[in-house]
Amino acid sequence: MTYAVRYYTKTGNTKRLAEAMAKVLGVEARPISEPVTETVDYLFLGNSYYAFDIDPEVKQFVASLDPAKIGKIVNFGSAAMLNSTYKKVKAAADKVGIAMDEKEFHCKGEFKGIHKGRPNADDVQAAAEVAKKYLA
């Protein structure tokens, strides 16, 4: 199996999750400013909610993906109030014809004093455990 990990972050939370997952998968976690040029079975895509939506840069990144090169997108993130961004990312992925894996990872993320310290060590470990399930 082949993997790539990309993340979008404003305050560093998603990057921490991405690095833990990438370590398990044996790849580097990269920001979405770095295009995915290789063919991968799974693209792990870290993103979050900002003002009730995923960032436009994340939508642009998904739109820029080559469906011939990406098997499935694995969504992960740490929104503070809302839950998973899965539906938002799926809407973008549907437009370009890339499937979303049914599994994903989501935990709470610190925002303005809410959920202080999260993702915490347990969250990071849980993210790594999810990534382990994809090793083959």
Ligand X SMILES: Cc1cc2nc3c(=O)[nH]c(=O)nc-3n(C[C@H](O)[C@H](O)[C@H](O)COP(=O)(O)O)c2cc1C
Minimum Å gap between C-beta 32 and ligand X is 11
- For ligand X, the nearest residue by Cβ is 109
- Rule CB under 6 A: say whether 82 interacts with ligand X: yes
* Nearer of residues 11 and 64 to ligand X, judged by Cβ: 11
* Nearer of residues 42 and 49 to ligand X, judged by Cβ: 49
CA neighbor of 77 nearest in space, from 5, 34, 32, 18: 18
Other beta carbons within 10 angstroms of residue 88's beta carbon come to 20
On whether the CB atoms of residues 45 and 89 are closer than 8 A, the answer is yes
* Nearer of residues 65 and 109 to ligand X, judged by Cβ: 109
Please report the beta strands in 2-122, taking only residues with DSSP state E, as ranges in sequence order: 3-7, 29-31, 40-46, 49-50, 53-54, 70-77, 99-100, 105-106
Q: Which of 20, 25, 74, 79 binds ligand X (CB under 6 A)?
A: 79
Residues 39-58 that bind ligand X (CB under 6 A): 48-52
Q: Which of 25, 45, 98, 109 binds ligand X (CB under 6 A)?
A: 109
Q: Which of 3, 44, 105, 111 binds ligand X (CB under 6 A)?
A: 111
On whether the CB atoms of residues 133 and 103 are closer than 8 A, the answer is yes
- Rule CB under 6 A: say whether 75 interacts with ligand X: no
Size of the site for ligand X (CB under 6 A): 19
d(CA 14, CA 7): 6
